[in-house]
Structure 1
Amino acid sequence: MQEKSPSIPSIDSHIHLDQYDDDAIRQMMQSLPNHQVESIIAVSMNKDSCQRIELLSRQYPGLVYPAYGYHPEQPLPSRQQTSELLEWIESRMNQLVAVGEIGLPYYLRQELAAREEKLDEAGYIQLLEQYLQLAAKHDKPVVLHAVYEDADTVCQLLEEYRIRRAHFHWFKGSAATVKRMAQHGYHISFTPDIAYEPEIRELAALYPRELVMAETDGPWPFEGPFTGQSTHPRMTADVCREWAAIQGLSEYEARQILYANTCNFYQLNG
C-alpha cells in the first residue's frame, strides 16, 4: 500500500522574499497551500528591504512573518543610517517575529583578503552588538548569518547579551562550535543543499533534532537535483525528506519535528 502524503505543513524559516519580483511573489503566495507550506519567515537586508518586507507582511498576513535587520555582507552603514534603522525596527516590535538577518561578514572578508584589503572587524562587531542589544531589550529572537570562525565570535556575544533564542541559518562550522551551539540551545536550519553537500549532511546527522528547522534562503539558487529551478518554499519538503532519511525518521515524523521547532522558536500560532 502506498504511504499517504504527509499532512503536516512546512514553514520556510528563512527566505529573502523582497528579492523576488512582484509577479514571482504573487505566484509564490498563491501556490503555498498547494505545496503544504503554511508560512514563511521573511528576513531583511537593510532599510529598503525592511520596508518592502513590512508591506508584504501586511499584504499576506498569516503567510509572511517579518524579521528586520541589516545583513552583514554589505558595506558598513553610517552611524546615522544605523540609528535610523534601529529606531525604525524598535517602533515595530509588535510586528516582527525576530531581529534579522544580522551577523558577521565571512564572505566579504574572504573577498577583501583576495584583493589584499582589510575588513573593519571592529566596526562589524559593533554593528552586530547594537542589534543584539535591541533584541535582548525586547526579548526577541535573532536570525544570524555567522559561519565558521565567525560563529565563535557570535556565540560569545550571545552569551554576553544573554540571548537564548538564536537561529544560525545555513550554518557551517567546526565540531567544537557545533557542540557549543547545541549546548546553548541555539537553532540551525538546513537548505536544499542537504541533498548533495557532504558537510551539511554530516551536520544534519549530529545536531539535536529539537533545534533544527528547514529553510530555502531564496532566491539563492541550488545545485544537484535543483539545478535550474527557481528557489521556492516548496523545497522545504525536500529538506525535510532528506533530513528524515539522515535521522532515520519517517517523513511524517520529520515534518512534525521541524514544524513544531519553527513554531516554538518564532512563537507562531502553529
Structure 2
Amino acid sequence: MSNKIIDAHIHLDMYKPDERSGILRDMEVNDVDALIAVSNDLASAQGTLRLAHEDNRVKPALGFHPEQPLPADEEVGDLLAMIEQYSDRLVAIGEVGLPYYIQREGKVTAREREAYVHILDAFIQKAAQLNKPVALHAIYEDAPEVVGLLEKHSLSNAHFHWFKGDSDTMLQMRRNGYFISVTPDILYKNKTRELARQYPLDKMMAETDGPWPFEGPFKGKMTHPYMIHHSVRELAALKRVPAEDVYKSLYDNTRRLYKF
C-alpha cells in the first residue's frame, strides 16, 4: 500500500528559508511526493520559479493573490508574459481569484472590484489558451461569479482551493467537474467536514495552504505537508472508505489535474 501524498496548494516561497529547507529535506521521510507551489505576485512568482528550478518536486504555479491591493497594469502584464514564457514549466496559473476578505473589511470599492474581476478574467483566459488548470481563491458570494468566468472561457480544469460556499454553487461546481481540496481544518471545522462528505472523492485533493496556521491539534505548530496524512485519515472516516483508497484517489486526482 502506498501512502504517498501531494500538497495541492502551498505558498512555499512564504516560509522562512530554514523552514522551507526543512520541508524539502523531510519530504521523502513524510511520503510527500510533490508540492503545488502557488504564487502571490510578481516577486513571489520569480521566487517560486527559482525554487522549482532547484528542486523538481516543486511544481510551480504563477498568479496574483487577490487579497491585497490592486497591482499595477505593468505587473499584471509582466505576470502574463512570464506565464507565457515559462508555460512548459508551469503546472497551473494561480493563485488567482476575487478579494472576498478585504472587500468585507471595506478596503475595496465597487470600481476596484471590477478591476479585480478584469484581472481574474485575463488569467482565466490565459489558462484556457495554454490549456493549464487554474488554482482559485473563490469563496462564499464570489464563487458563483468565478464559476461564470470559467464557463465563459470553457475552462473545466479548475481547482477551488479551501472552498467555502453555498450548496447551490457546490452542486454547479460538481456538475462542471471542478476540483476542491481540503485542509487540515477537516479535523475540527464542521463546514469543512460536511463539504468533504458531500463532494465526490474523484474530484478532491488535499492541501495545507502553508504557511497559514491551523487550530485544533495543530495549534502552535508550523504548517507542514505531513499534516495531510491526518486529513486523509479523517476524510476516509467521513467517507467511510478505506484510507488506502483515499490516499490513491487524492494522489491520482492531483496528478491528473496538474498533469505531471
* Mapped pair 1:89 → 2:80: no
Structure 1: gaps (5+ residues) = 1-5
- Partner of 1:143, secondary structure, is strand
| Structure 1 counterpart of 2:103 | 109
Q: Percent identity?
A: 45
| Structure 1 counterpart of 2:190 | 198
Residue among 35, 50, 53 paired with 1:58: 53
| Structure 1 counterpart of 2:109 | 118
The 2-side partners of 1:55 and 1:78 are apart by 23
Q: Which moved more, 1:238-247 or 1:74-83?
A: 74-83
Q: Which runs of 4+ in 1 moved over 2 A?
A: none
Residue among 18, 21, 24 paired with 1:29: 24
* Mapped pair 1:47 → 2:42: yes
Residue among 149, 156, 176 paired with 1:157: 149
The 2-side partners of 1:15 and 1:267 are apart by 17
How far 1:118 moved relative to its partner?
Answer: 2.7
How far 1:140 moved relative to its partner?
Answer: 0.5
TM-score normalised by the chain length of structure 2: 0.98
| Structure 2 counterpart of 1:207 | 199
Q: Is the 8 A contact 2:62 2:79 kept in 1?
A: no
- Partner of 2:33, secondary structure, is strand
The 1-side partners of 2:73 and 2:252 are apart by 39
CA RMSD of aligned residues (A): 1.0
Q: Is the 8 A contact 2:66 2:97 kept in 1?
A: yes
How far 1:249 moved relative to its partner?
Answer: 1.2
The 1-side partners of 2:75 and 2:25 are apart by 35
- Partner of 1:35, secondary structure, is coil
How far 1:8 moved relative to its partner?
Answer: 2.8
Count of matched residue pairs: 259
Q: Which moved more, 1:76-85 or 1:201-210?
A: 76-85
The 1-side partners of 2:78 and 2:134 are apart by 19
The 1-side partners of 2:77 and 2:244 are apart by 45
TM-score normalised by the chain length of structure 1: 0.94
Aligned AA (1:83): G
- Partner of 1:168, secondary structure, is strand
The 1-side partners of 2:49 and 2:117 are apart by 26
